[in-house]
Amino acid sequence: MNLPNKISLTRIFLIPVFIAFFYLTCIPYNYVWAGLIFVIAACTDFIDGYIARKYNLVTDLGKFLDAIADKVLVMTALTLIISVNGILINNIVGGIGVALILAREFIVSFFRMIAASKSTVIAADKWGKIKTTVQDVCIAILLIGYNFFNLCGFSKALRITGFVLFCVAVVVTILSGIEMFIKNKCVLKEKENNE
């Protein structure tokens, strides 16, 4: 197993640590710690990809691990965020937004499986990278900021910033999914012709 794959596995192993800190409310500033662990895990996404491309260490296992690690990390974080009343300004909008993001991720994963069954690889594009970055920044701000929402003078601004970024993340996530379908619609057409 090469170094980028080990880094992807590290991201997967950090998910239970992230969950533990999220729920260990007996630890002071547990959401800050959970947020920092999330940031470290999210940074490994950029590190493993950079190393794999720079040193020509891209493998099928690496592509699989990277995609799984990213989705599980973000889906876990979003699910935990909506489970705590008050992290998002509006729980209804938050719940709908998380449902849309999760639906998009499942649909895109299924679409990629169809493409893979036809020996077609749908690589991540710039919209996918923008989506991941916006989601990661949004989650980090919401988690790290939550412990401070009621403590500091700029707490309201921090909370609004996190919520606005969340809404932007939902829109970018949906747009990136639509763009991916449009660019790769031939995969579905071929499937329809074969049936």
User: Which CATH number belongs to the domain containing residue 183 in this structure?
Assistant: 1.20.120.1760
Q: Contact, 52 vs 4, CB < 8 A?
A: yes
Domain total of the chain: 1
For 133-167, what is each residue's pLDDT tens digit?
999 999 999 998 888 766 666 677 778 888 999 99
Residue 54 Cα to chain centre, angstroms: 23
Res 137: pLDDT: 94
User: For a pLDDT cut of 90, what percent of the chain falls above it?
Assistant: 61
Question: Is pLDDT of 191 > 50?
Answer: no
Round the CA-based radius of gyration of the chain to a whole number and report it.
18
Q: What is the mean pLDDT of residues 21-28?
A: 95
Residue 183 Cα to chain centre, angstroms: 22
Single pTM value for the model: 0.88
In terms of residues, how long is the chain? 195
**Boundaries of domain holding 136:** 3-194
Res 152: pLDDT: 63
For 36-78, what is each residue's pLDDT tens digit?
999 999 999 999 999 999 999 998 888 888 888 999 999 999 9
- Residue by residue, DSSP assigns 11-33 as HHHHHHHHHHHHH-TTSTTHHHH
Question: Is pLDDT of 7 > 90?
Answer: yes
Q: Contact, 31 vs 143, CB < 8 A?
A: yes
Question: Is pLDDT of 124 > 80?
Answer: no
Please give the mean pLDDT across all residues of the chain. 89
Cα separation, 58 vs 132, whole angstroms: 20
